[in-house]
Amino acid sequence: MADVAVVGAGIMGSATAYALAREGRDVTLYEQFEVGHTRGSSHGRSRIVRLAYPDLEFVELARESFAGWRGLEQEAGVELLELNGLLELVGDLDQGSSAALDAAGAKYELLSAEDARRRWPVGVPDGWTALFQPEGGIVRADLAHRAFVDRAVAHGAELREHTRVDALDDVDARAVVVTAGPWVQRFFPDLPVHTTRETVAYFRREGAPLPSVVQLDPVTRGHALYSLHDPVHGLKAGAHHAGARIGPDDEGGPDPALVARVAEWVARTYPDADPEPVAAETCMYTTTPDERFILERRGRVVIGSACSGHGFKFAPAVGRRLAEMAADIL
């Protein structure tokens, strides 16, 4: 009997298995498909990392995660973070991250739209403010995912791909961590999450990588549109929480209307990018009402649902917490 079974080898399950195996725990990591498949939430070459959050709790969790990414880079001998900075575009400064960054003692610059446009080929809207924070950019998502899995296995974890867990009671382990992403309600129908199929598009852009950009929506006060560097095409962009509500096994491709909306924004915002999309793909969000993460214990089971479209950057810290919660069961 294993100490811990981890159900789901997306980025959260892989980070958890790594944290457990590194502590000498006997871990089995189950994945219904293969690591790196494109039906869940963790595939693709890049994800935004940033310290800048309007919420101090997330600033501190991001800071802890940066240290975790650096540790994994060292152990795996691969560069995972490309920190070209984060540009947060806000119409109303109170809506942004400046107060939380002040509380965390983190440095940042506030630039007028004109000054920001002089510094980066980014079409900041007139009258808006650009908050630049250097501890931001991208994590190489595919390399990071592979590094967590490979290091977990190097520390003794057993990876079982193409192995779907149907009943947690049948899992041969003293503790079980469920990091099933958009499939989590298959085990916990009561969990307050909903799933959407999101669409991202890729655009040709040459030259030095731009900072990652998040444009806040004056109405929803949340994220609206975002972009980040893509190591192959140059620019990746998407609309946050814009996808249709669907089940995790529902088939479907990129939403042409969303691709068009994102391409229109890219045409307005990135003068040196070709606004004709060269590729598009889908990816699943599993979203909670307040976009916070569910890290919860129920008997010998620990649930880890950390997404809402912004979880990847926190994987080192979330993985460590889920591992600690599982160890408490042993």
Ligand X SMILES: Cc1cc2nc3c(=O)[nH]c(=O)nc-3n(C[C@H](O)[C@H](O)[C@H](O)COP(=O)(O)OP(=O)(O)OC[C@H]3O[C@@H](n4cnc5c(N)ncnc54)[C@H](O)[C@@H]3O)c2cc1C
- Contact between 47 and ligand X by CB under 6 A: the answer reads yes
Reported as half-sphere exposure (CB side, CA atoms, 13 A), residue 295 has a value of 19
Task: Give the interface segment with ligand X, choosing from 41-49, 56-64, 149-157, 254-262 (CB under 6 A).
Answer: 41-49
- Contact between 259 and ligand X by CB under 6 A: the answer reads no
- Contact between 41 and ligand X by CB under 6 A: the answer reads yes
Cβ proximity to ligand X: between 131 and 237 the closer is 237
Closest CA to 227 of 101, 136, 125: 136
For residues 71 and 56, the answer to whether their CB atoms sit within 8 Å is no
Shortest spacing between CB 282 and ligand X, in angstroms: 8
Cβ proximity to ligand X: between 44 and 96 the closer is 44
- Contact between 283 and ligand X by CB under 6 A: the answer reads yes
Shortest spacing between CB 25 and ligand X, in angstroms: 19
**Binder among 4, 177, 258, 307 for ligand X (CB under 6 A):** 307
Distance from C-alpha of 199 to C-alpha of 254, rounded to nearest angstrom: 5
For residues 261 and 330, the answer to whether their CB atoms sit within 8 Å is no
Q: State how far Cα 71 lies from the chain centre.
A: 18
For residues 214 and 88, the answer to whether their CB atoms sit within 8 Å is yes
Query: What is the rounded end-to-end Cα distance, in angstroms, of the chain?
Result: 12
Three-class secondary structure of residue 154 per DSSP: helix
Q: Please list every residue from 141 through 200 that binds ligand X, using CB under 6 A.
A: 164-165, 179-183, 198, 200
Shortest spacing between CB 156 and ligand X, in angstroms: 20
Cβ proximity to ligand X: between 224 and 283 the closer is 283
Distance from C-alpha of 88 to C-alpha of 77, rounded to nearest angstrom: 31
Task: Give the interface segment with ligand X, choosing from 17-25, 29-37, 96-104, 149-157 (CB under 6 A).
Answer: 29-37
Shortest spacing between CB 145 and ligand X, in angstroms: 8
- Contact between 319 and ligand X by CB under 6 A: the answer reads no
Closest CA to 34 of 169, 145, 143, 139: 145
Per-residue DSSP letter, 182: G
- Contact between 30 and ligand X by CB under 6 A: the answer reads yes
- Residues binding ligand X (CB under 6 A): 7-13, 30-33, 40-42, 47-48, 164-165, 179-183, 198, 200, 238, 283-285, 306-307, 309-313
